[in-house]
Amino acid sequence: MVLQAPAQQHSQRQGAAVWLAIAALVAAAGYRWVSQNSSKQAAVPPQPDPDVGQLGDPSDTKEYQKALARTRQAVSVHKALGFMTAGTPARAMVELKRALNENAIVREPLLNARYEKKQLQDLYRLHVQNSEMPLQFSTLLQLREMLALPDNEAEALEAEVMNSGVQFSI
């Protein structure tokens, strides 16, 4: 152990006390600054930067909404064809109406061409058979566009259903 002169020990103790006092003052000032600034930040909500642009939720964009509606439309048509094949026309009509609602947003034909033309014609025929009379021409046009049926084929299907007497089912 090294022995030091009493005057030297006293000056070291004073130096340490000074540093401790400085550290305590800095800590107190820092605490006060943080407490004052945190109350100001809570009162004022952050504002978006106009130069950056909108980097928000991608579901807000029009393209996203159209793509989502087009996908839902395809799923609803697929379900309608499945229900029609299974022999449950009421459930097929519900899905077809859902597809028409989604088509009101997207206004484009089906996503894929994996369905045969006869399946799409049967779906159109189902709609004509189970819709209210008189048929709404706007809905028929929308369905024709969605199923990509030419006008002459659609009109022939309508005439076939009207002449068959099946449209008066209860």
| 18/82: higher pLDDT | 82
Q: What is the pLDDT of residues 3-39, one digit of tens each?
A: 555 556 656 677 777 787 788 888 888 888 777 776 5
What's the pLDDT at 127?
94
| pLDDT of 95 higher than 90 | yes
| pLDDT of 41 higher than 80 | no
Backbone angles phi, psi at 114, to 5 degrees: -85, -5
Confidence of residue 56 (pLDDT cuts 50, 70, 90): low
Q: Tell me the whole-structure pTM to 2 decimals.
A: 0.61
* Amino acid occupying residue 7: A
Q: Rounded mean pLDDT of the chain?
A: 81
| pLDDT of 113 higher than 90 | no
Residue 6, Cβ density class (10 Å: 0-12 exposed, 13-18 middle, ≥19 buried): exposed
Taking phi over 0 as left and psi of -120 to 50 as alpha, with beta for the rest, 57 belongs to: beta
Residue 163 has what DSSP assignment?
H
| pLDDT of 135 higher than 90 | no
Residue 48, Cβ density class (10 Å: 0-12 exposed, 13-18 middle, ≥19 buried): exposed
Q: Which two tokens stand for residue 75?
A: 């799923």
Q: Which of 58-62, 85-89, 116-120 shows the lowest mean pLDDT across its residues?
A: 58-62
What's the pLDDT at 28?
84
Residue range 32-61: mean pLDDT, rounded = 63
| pLDDT of 54 higher than 60 | no
Length of the chain: 170
